[in-house]
């Protein structure tokens, strides 16, 4: 079995400074999300009405609110740290759902062809003709907000991109000699698809997943901002900014700090995605 992944390891050794920088940003956010219960200085849901809408650096009874407080006197630093975990969890699980569904359908359509191919690809065309955020808003409005529903909605609205890539790659690989040899050796379709085809299309799928990961973070923030995502008192960057927009003139920090974190995270993911694309497809660097 041939695979493009070992060759990638050689190219990964040459990492540009910009990629190393955004990798550090991404790693810091991930670590904050994982260790939020131990890093956050306070309970993110603890209300202190005497400290409502206080600016960064405000002190009360020996407690310093380094990023200020929100409308209920909750520590914004703690909520931002915990919000990283919520936003990343939704994005990761959504990407997993869409990858599993999309790649499986794409490989099946590309391998079996015929009616299965027609049905799957027509469904892909229909799904991609509808704006993803509109479809997500409509679906969440029907199913209701919440963590699980948000993951399912985001995952099940973004699988067509994976299907298209997996379908095209499967069509190319299915005619290669080592695939034909596996068929002659008596290997079944499932074994060929998951043991031979899947490892060879992992590169393009990883590129799509990286790009979709950044989009999932933005979509989660957007839906939570509209009140259709993570519900209070749980903290996500989108829901924090949704509260902050009501007090933008009086308490700019409620929007500014989570918004900056959101920008840095999505920016770092996009830069990493572009770099990964260049590793798998060097021709893209000359475009």
pLDDT tens, position by position, 64-120:
899 999 999 999 999 999 999 999 999 999 999 999 999 999 999 998 888 999 999
In angstroms, the first-to-last Cα distance of the chain is 31
Is pLDDT above 60 for 287? Answer: no
Of residues 117, 200, 233, the one with CA closest to residue 224: 233
- 3-state secondary structure string across the chain: CCCCHHHHHHHCCCCCHHHHHHHHHHHHHHHHHHCHHHHCCCCCCCCCHHHCCCCCCEEECCEEECCCECCCCCEHHHHHHHHHHHHHHHHHHHHHHHHHHHHHHHHHHHHHCHHHHHHHHHHHHHHHCCCHHHHHHHHHHHHCCCHHHHHHHHHHHCHHHHHHHHHHHHHHHCCCHHHHHHHHCCCCHHHHHHHHHHHHHHHHHHHHHHHHHHHHHHHHHHHHHCCCCCCCCCCCHHHHHHHHHHHCCCCCHHHHHHHHHHHHHHHHHHHHHHHHHHHHCHHHHHC
pLDDT at 10: 47
Report pLDDT digits (tens) over 236-286: 999 999 989 999 889 999 999 999 999 999 999 999 988 888 877 655 555
The Cα-based distances of 70 to 43, 119, 277 in angstroms read: 13, 50, 40
pLDDT in tens, 178-187: 887 877 777 7
Angle between helices 147-157 and 76-112 (to 10 degrees): 40
pLDDT of residue 130: 86
- Average pLDDT of the segment spanning 214-221: 92
CATH of 16-281, one of 1.10.3720.10, 1.20.1070.10, 3.50.50.60, 3.40.50.300: 1.10.3720.10
Dihedral sign computed on CA atoms, order 42, 47, 50, 53: positive
- How many whole angstroms from its chain centre is CA 225? 17
Average pLDDT over the chain, rounded to an integer: 87
pLDDT value at residue 22: 92
Domain ranges of the chain: 16-281
Give pLDDT, residue 282: 53
Distances (CA, A) of 43 to 3, 30, 38, 81, 252: 48, 19, 10, 11, 22
- Cβ atoms of 90 and 216 within 8 Å: the answer is yes
Helices 198-225/132-143 angle, 10° precision = 70
Instruction: Name the burial class of residue 265, with classes exposed (0-12), middle (13-18) and buried (19+) by CB atoms within 10 angstroms of its CB.
Output: buried
């Amino acid at each position: 079995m041939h695979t493009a992944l070992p060759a990638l390891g050689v190219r990964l050794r040459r990492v540009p400074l910009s990629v190393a920088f955004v990798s550090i940003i991404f790693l810091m956010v991930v670590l904050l999300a994982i260790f939020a219960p131990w890093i956050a200085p306070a309970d993110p849901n603890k209300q202190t009405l005497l400290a409502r809408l206080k600016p960064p650096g405000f002190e009360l009874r020996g407690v310093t609110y380094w990023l200020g407080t929100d409308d209920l006197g909750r520590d914004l630093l703690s909520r931002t740290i915990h919000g990283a975990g919520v936003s990343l969890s939704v994005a990761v699980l959504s990407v997993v759902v869409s990858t599993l569904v999309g790649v499986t359908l794409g490989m099946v359509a590309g391998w079996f062809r015929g009616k299965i191919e027609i049905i799957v690809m027509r469904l892909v065309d229909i799904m991609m003709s509808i704006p993803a955020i509109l479809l997500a808003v409509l679906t969440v409005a029907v199913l209701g907000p919440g963590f699980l529903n948000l993951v399912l909605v985001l995952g099940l609205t973004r699988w067509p991109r994976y299907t298209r890539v997996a379908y095209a790659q499967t069509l190319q690989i299915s005619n290669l000699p080592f695939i034909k040899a596996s068929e002659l050796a008596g290997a079944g379709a499932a074994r060929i698809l998951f043991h031979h085809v899947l490892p060879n299309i992992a590169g393009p799928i990883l590129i799509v997943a990286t790009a979709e990961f950044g989009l999932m973070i933005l979509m989660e923030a957007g839906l939570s901002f509209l009140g259709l995502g993570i519900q209070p008192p749980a903290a996500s960057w989108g829901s924090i900014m949704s509260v902050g927009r009501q007090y933008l003139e009086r308490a700019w920090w409620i929007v500014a700090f989570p918004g900056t974190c959101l920008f840095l995270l999505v920016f770092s993911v996009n830069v990493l995605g572009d770099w990964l694309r260049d590793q798998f497809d060097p021709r893209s660097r000359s475009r």
